[in-house]
Structure 1
Amino acid sequence: MTTRSVSRTAASSMVVAALALVGVQAAGQTASAAPKTAASVVTCTAANTKLTVTEVSRPINHLLLKATNTGTKPCYAYSAPFLRAGADAQAPVAWNEDSTPQAVVTLKPGESAYAGVLTSSPDGEGGGTEKTLGVIFADRNGGATDKEKTLNLPNGGVFFNSAAAVTYWQDNAADALTW
């Protein structure tokens, strides 16, 4: 009986040692499989993206804002864009907090992000027809990144009222227009 327990103890020690060795080898393989230098990702700004705004037929009273990465590095489209409806706007268009995606939208060069813009609602107050839309990207901390890019609104102008809101950046147009 003593012989068996020594044999089992010795065998289990060898198994533990073998597993430890395999773990060390696997860790070495994982580390060597990682890229030597990760591609640096920058924040999307007016300088490294092309912005367009279009009117959509559905849902009504909506615009689609599209940001396409024109840079050579991937960029993060953080949060939602800061929008100024018209040159005389006193405050940015509200962010639709319900549209927060599960992760920050990352755009490889040539890829696009989308934000849906609700321009008005019967529940809103006041308002007027605006000819331009000012766009500023958000940074990692939710602040403004850089200079505003001013876009001309379709059809010579779009009606905005106090119900106006913009979604967070989405990786496809359908999700941006869901809100």
Structure 2
Amino acid sequence: MLRIRPRTAVAATAAVIAALSLTACQGSPSDDPSPGKAAADGATARPGDKADGSGNSGGNGNSGGNGSGSASGAGKNPSAPRPSDGGKAPDRGAGSSDACTGGNMTATVTKVPRPINHLLLTVTNKGSRPCSANFAPSLRFDDDQSATRVNDDSKPQAVVTLAPGRSAYASVLLSGEAGGDTHGRVARKLTVYFTPRSGSGSVGAPLTLSLPAETHKDDNASVTYWQTSAPDALQF
């Protein structure tokens, strides 16, 4: 019968115990968190990791990262006024057309049978561009120091714009109601000044016309605004 020596048995037993101790110290592989699990749990990124910019505080626009969020847009304020053209108020007149003046107009003045004591002033655009017959003509009989009064009741809805070859009309009331010293006299010439779109002063060259024979006027004379037709002008 084979006998095991006591020393050999002791050595074998020691080797088995050592192997069991080593296994217990290493533990299970599932106890060690992997790099992917650590990132998902919000752990601090390792130096070699690359940020993808998709987090809540990175470059997606929610905190102004790339300007595409709700705080960016086109920078327009719907309630802000739009810029004006040079900051100027629109001229009072007929759009972009030039003012009618003695340089681009011809004129005639005639005595009419009805209504009595009236003249009809007609101006015609002889130029190649439209022009505006602004407000009313400024009239001077002979060497009068002041312009003839304008009849404000004759103001039209819009400024009269004249295409080339078209005419505008104004009627002149030569005398008003009788009574008092109105300095009635016979006038021989009429100077027509044209009004700018600003409504103040005159623009361009005036026109001087010879009046019909025995034209009698007094200080109550008045003139209408420019009208688009002779009947419109003569109703005042």
TM-score band by shorter chain is 0.7 to 0.9
How far off is 1:62 after superposition?
0.3
SS in 1 for 2:205: coil
How far off is 1:126 after superposition?
1.5
2:101–2:206 contact (8 Å) kept in structure 1: no
Paired residue type of 1:89 = D
* Root mean square deviation, CA, Å: 1.4
TM-score of the aligned structures, taking structure 2 as reference length: 0.57
Q: Could you say which residue in structure 2 is the equivalent of 1:97?
A: 152
Structure 1 stretches of at least 4 aligned residues deviating more than 3 Å after TM superposition: none
Structure with the higher fraction of residues in helix conformation: 1
Which one has the largest radius of gyration?
Answer: 2
Q: Tell me which of 119, 128, 132 is aligned to 2:174.
A: 119
What per-residue deviation string (whole Å, max 9, x for no partner) do you get for residues 64-116 of structure 1? 00010000000100000000011x21111001000000000000000000000
Q: Tell me which of 117, 142, 147 is aligned to 2:205.
A: 147
How far off is 1:121 after superposition?
2.4
What per-residue deviation string (whole Å, max 9, x for no partner) do you get for residues 138-165 of structure 1? 010112012221100012x411101100
Q: 1: CA distance between counterparts of 2:176 and 2:155? A: 21
TM-score of the aligned structures, taking structure 1 as reference length: 0.74
How many residues end up aligned between the 2 structures?
A: 139
SS in 2 for 1:131: strand
What per-residue deviation string (whole Å, max 9, x for no partner) do you get for residues 22-56 of structure 1? xxxxxxxxxxxxxxxxx952110001010110000
Q: Does 1:50 align with 2:113?
A: no
Q: Does 1:129 align with 2:167?
A: no
Q: 2: CA distance between counterparts of 1:102 and 1:43? A: 18
Unaligned runs of 5+ in 1: 1-38
Paired residue type of 2:162 = L
Structure with the higher fraction of residues in strand conformation: 1
